[in-house]
């Protein structure tokens, strides 16, 4: 039976030896044990690892009920959040429904737009203009409620709700996903009786897509979150407690770290499907925040081919040899087309008239892999069975577990992000937030 997600390492033939894999295997297994047994640093933040088996079924049913309510009374849902609070749901909606979800509005499921992920007044005003006179609701996502970008957006869009519906109805259209016990957003939700959903204590933002953080927007879009969790459970059963020899997830962590230790420090996640662009954006946060610490870590980047072959292909083929490629391909494409026949054949495409567009796309992938490999770029291929919610759930868990294992393998804490806090402190000081006066004075005195 075909796997939901499978790893092909034939593109590493000239870059990694069996001996190297044998040598790193005990270290990978140790890193995996730190995660599974909860003995690694910050282990209280690995609750996501058992989430497919232990999620809150009562809240899960409330999520589906809320999604149905939003679909019944709103043409638009504004999802307010930044980082992991929006990338997971955006990724899943594009993956499941295609690149043009909001343009194919059928009245059954709301258009879904994202706010609070930028400080741009232009973007925010453009989104206010899009809402116009449409009926809309808000899902605001924040562990604390004080993160600058989403907090600002929430004030702005909440004001528009109140102006349109009055306070009582406006508050019925606000859905809050936040900490279960504390925080400014939770306090506001309690005071105003917003419907609330929980970000579990042991789940950080970049690992939160399989909680209410991602599930409510995905369900509102019409995505099948039952199948999504079933796919994650399949991955959990297949990979969580499987030995190295049969575990593609651990092998992926092993191979990318063998290459990293040879000086191949940049990983490009590639797809030939534009609707996977935000899958790569989600993966970049997952990998970057998990591994990029203590002046270590693989730098995550992404491309969509064949589009980016015409802008980045030259560099990948002949630039610095510090690149590895991980390509994601769907075995069974959602759609297929054939090249129409043309009597004139002025474009020279007659040789493709009997070939499907999906075959051309996959052939391009194969040709690029051969060229890049011969040019000194190692590549791995991750093949997805299909574009179903089941496969996506499997892939989410696959990447989460592999990247967390990779973090421990490199001797860092996979679950904190101290560098992210540095810019926040500087911004608060420069904007005059109370409590940051000393830092502001220090910044003003320092040359920069």
End-to-end CA distance of the chain: 59
| Residue among 68, 182, 296, 424 flagged as catalytic | 424
Please check whether residues 262 and 352 belong to one and the same domain: yes
188 contacts: CB under 8 Å, gap ≥ 6:
145, 176, 194
Please check whether residues 256 and 170 belong to one and the same domain: no
Query: Is residue 427 pLDDT above 70, yes or no?
Result: no
Contact 403, 349 (CB under 8 A): no
pLDDT-derived band at 421, boundaries 50, 70, 90:
low
Identify whether 328 is part of a domain: yes
Catalytic residue check, 289 = yes
CA distance 276 to 95: 6
Catalytic residue check, 424 = yes
| Residue among 47, 273, 281, 289 flagged as catalytic | 289
The structure tokens 């992991």 sit at: 84
At which of 167, 190, 223 does a domain end?
223
Nearest Cα neighbor of 402 from 292, 327, 291 is: 291
* pLDDT tens, residue by residue, 88-110: 999 999 999 999 999 987 889 99
Provide the pLDDT for residue 423.
64
Please check whether residues 159 and 202 belong to one and the same domain: yes
> What's the number of domains the chain is made of?
2
At which of 206, 223, 240 does a domain end?
223
CA distance 238 to 243: 10
Contact 75, 136 (CB under 8 A): yes
Identify whether 445 is part of a domain: no
Give the residue-averaged pLDDT of 276-295: 97
Provide the pLDDT for residue 206.
97
Domain carrying residue 70:
51-223
Helices 212-220 + 57-73 axis angle, to 10: 40
Please check whether residues 23 and 77 belong to one and the same domain: no
Please check whether residues 203 and 336 belong to one and the same domain: no
Query: Is residue 419 pLDDT above 80, yes or no?
Result: no
Please check whether residues 253 and 378 belong to one and the same domain: yes
At which of 189, 223, 257 does a domain end?
223
Identify whether 435 is part of a domain: no
Task: Give the rounded distance of the alpha carbon of 286 from its chain centre.
Answer: 7
Identify whether 138 is part of a domain: yes
Query: Is residue 320 pLDDT above 80, yes or no?
Result: yes
**What's the CATH number where 197 sits?**
3.40.50.10490
Better-scored residue on pLDDT, 67 or 443 = 67
Please check whether residues 280 and 378 belong to one and the same domain: yes
Query: Is residue 182 pLDDT above 80, yes or no?
Result: yes
Please check whether residues 103 and 146 belong to one and the same domain: yes
Percent of the chain with pLDDT over 70: 96
Identify whether 424 is part of a domain: no
Identify whether 134 is part of a domain: yes
Beta bridge partners of 46: 203
Give the residue-averaged pLDDT of 427-433: 70
Please check whether residues 167 and 253 belong to one and the same domain: no
Give the residue-averaged pLDDT of 150-164: 97
* pLDDT tens, residue by residue, 187-243: 999 999 999 999 999 999 999 999 999 999 999 999 999 999 999 999 999 887 778
* pLDDT tens, residue by residue, 41-84: 999 999 999 999 999 999 999 999 999 999 999 999 999 999 99
Please check whether residues 57 and 18 belong to one and the same domain: no
Identify whether 427 is part of a domain: no
Please check whether residues 308 and 365 belong to one and the same domain: yes
Give the residue-averaged pLDDT of 364-393: 97
């Amino acid at each position: 039976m075909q796997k939901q997600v499978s790893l092909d390492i034939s593109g590493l033939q000239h870059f990694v030896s069996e001996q190297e894999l044998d040598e790193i295997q005990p270290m990978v297994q140790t890193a995996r044990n730190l995660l599974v047994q909860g003995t690694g640093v910050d282990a209280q933040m690995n609750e996501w690892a058992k989430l497919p088996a232990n999620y809150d079924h009562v809240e899960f049913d409330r999520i589906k009920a809320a999604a149905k309510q939003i679909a019944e009374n709103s043409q638009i849902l504004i999802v307010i959040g930044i980082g992991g609070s929006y990338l997971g749901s955006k990724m899943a909606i594009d993956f499941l429904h295609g690149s043009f979800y909001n343009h194919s509005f059928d009245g059954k499921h709301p258009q879904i737009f994202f706010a609070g992920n930028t400080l741009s007044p232009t973007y925010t005003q453009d989104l206010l203009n899009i809402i116009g006179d449409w009926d809309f609701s808000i899902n605001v996502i924040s562990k604390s409620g004080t993160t600058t970008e989403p907090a600002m957006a929430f004030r702005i869009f909440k004001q528009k709700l109140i102006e349109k519906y009055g306070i009582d109805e406006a508050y019925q259209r606000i859905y809050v996903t936040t900490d279960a016990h504390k925080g400014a957003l939770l306090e506001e939700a309690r005071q105003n009786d917003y419907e609330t959903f929980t970000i579990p204590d042991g789940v950080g933002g970049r690992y939160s897509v399989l909680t209410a953080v991602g599930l409510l927007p995905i369900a509102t879009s019409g995505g099948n979150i039952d199948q999504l969790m079933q796919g994650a459970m399949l991955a959990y059963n297949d990979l969580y407690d499987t030995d190295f020899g049969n575990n593609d997830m651990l092998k992926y962590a092993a191979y990318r770290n063998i290459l990293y230790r040879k000086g191949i420090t940049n990983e490009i996640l590639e797809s030939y499907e534009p609707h996977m662009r935000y899958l790569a954006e989600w993966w970049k946060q997952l990998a970057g925040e998990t591994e990029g610490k203590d002046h270590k870590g693989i730098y995550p980047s992404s491309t969509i081919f064949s589009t980016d072959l015409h802008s980045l292909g030259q560099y990948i083929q002949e630039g610095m040899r510090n690149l590895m490629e991980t390509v994601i391909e769907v075995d069974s494409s959602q759609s297929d087309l054939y090249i129409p026949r043309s009597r004139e054949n002025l474009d020279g495409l007659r040789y493709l008239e009997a070939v499907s567009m999906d075959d051309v796309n996959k052939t391009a992938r194969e040709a690029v892999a051969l060229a890049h490999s011969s040019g000194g770029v190692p590549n791995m291929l991750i093949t997805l069975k299909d574009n179903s919610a089941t496969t996506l759930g499997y892939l989410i868990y696959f990447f989460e577990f592999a990247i967390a294992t990779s973090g421990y393998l490199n001797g860092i804490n996979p679950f904190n992000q101290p560098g992210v806090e540095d810019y926040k402190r500087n911004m608060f000081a420069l904007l005059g937030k109370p409590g940051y006066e000393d830092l502001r004075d220090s910044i003003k005195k320092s040359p920069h």
